[in-house]
Chains A and B, each alone.
Chain A
Amino acid sequence: RKEVEQDPGPFNVPEGATVAFNCTYSNSASQSFFWYRQDCRKEPKLLMSVYSSGNEDGRFTAQLNRASQYISLLIRDSKLSDSATYLCVVNKRGGADGLTFGKGTHLIIQP
């Protein structure tokens, strides 16, 4: 079983729609969770951290379910500029440590 699994997509979504991704992780001892965004042939950039209580940043909402080892990302009122690959990322030990990345979910927002 892969350490972090995501649906690769692509998700083709009309502009203004709401889209949701999720991922699952295999290591129950994982400490920290993130969503990164990667544009084509660019470096990954942190979109948001994910907390058990759920957190929101503008149009983006992230949720963590530790019991199910499941992480989600919701994007509301999607923009053309949201087109990218969204990477689910886990830090096994917390603190300074190598990150474990999913392969990513490819999102295409259509005008």
Chain B
Amino acid sequence: NAGVMQNPRHLVRRRGQEARLRCSPMKGHSHVYWYRQLPEEGLKFMVYLQKENIIDESGMPKERFSAEFPKEGPSILRIQQVVRGDSAAYFCASSPAVGEQFFGPGTRLTVL
């Protein structure tokens, strides 16, 4: 049973470009969570999704950030018009209905 998969593992973007981060949950998991870890900081919750629904987006920045988890395919975290402050590790986690959250290896975004 493959774990949570994220791609790309490393992403470099110039200021103003768009970043799209993908997360495939573990088989059988219907809950997906996105977290951001800024350099020298703890992980911060961003958004919690189930298939085709955003359940809690209280941690998402108000602008430029969006997330989706379509019926088919991976969950996508999209960052428009990236700025240097968006440089961070973005971790996705998945869980069954209730239970432990399993984390993916993360995507390290660098904004030049």
Do most interface residues of chain B lie in helix, strand or loop, or is the interface mixed? strand
CA distance A102 to B31 in the complex (A): 22
A44/B98 contact (C-beta < 8 A), A97-B48, A98-B48, A98-B56 known = no
Q: Does B17 lie at the interface of the complex (its beta carbon under 8 Å from any beta carbon of A)?
A: no
CB neighbors of B among A75-98 (8 A): 87, 95-98
CA distance A95 to B105 in the complex (A): 23
Do most interface residues of chain A lie in helix, strand or loop, or is the interface mixed? loop
Q: Are A103 and B42 in contact (CB under 8 A)?
A: yes
Q: Which residues of A contact B43 (CB under 8 A)?
A: 44, 87, 99, 101
Given pairs A4-B42, A98-B58, 20 additional interface contacts (CB within 8 A) = A43-B91, A43-B103, A43-B104, A45-B103, A46-B100, A95-B98, A96-B48, A96-B55, A96-B98, A97-B48, A97-B56, A98-B33, A98-B47, A98-B48, A98-B56, A99-B33, A99-B35, A99-B45, A99-B101, A103-B41
Interface residues of A (CB under 8 A from B): 4, 41-46, 87, 95-104
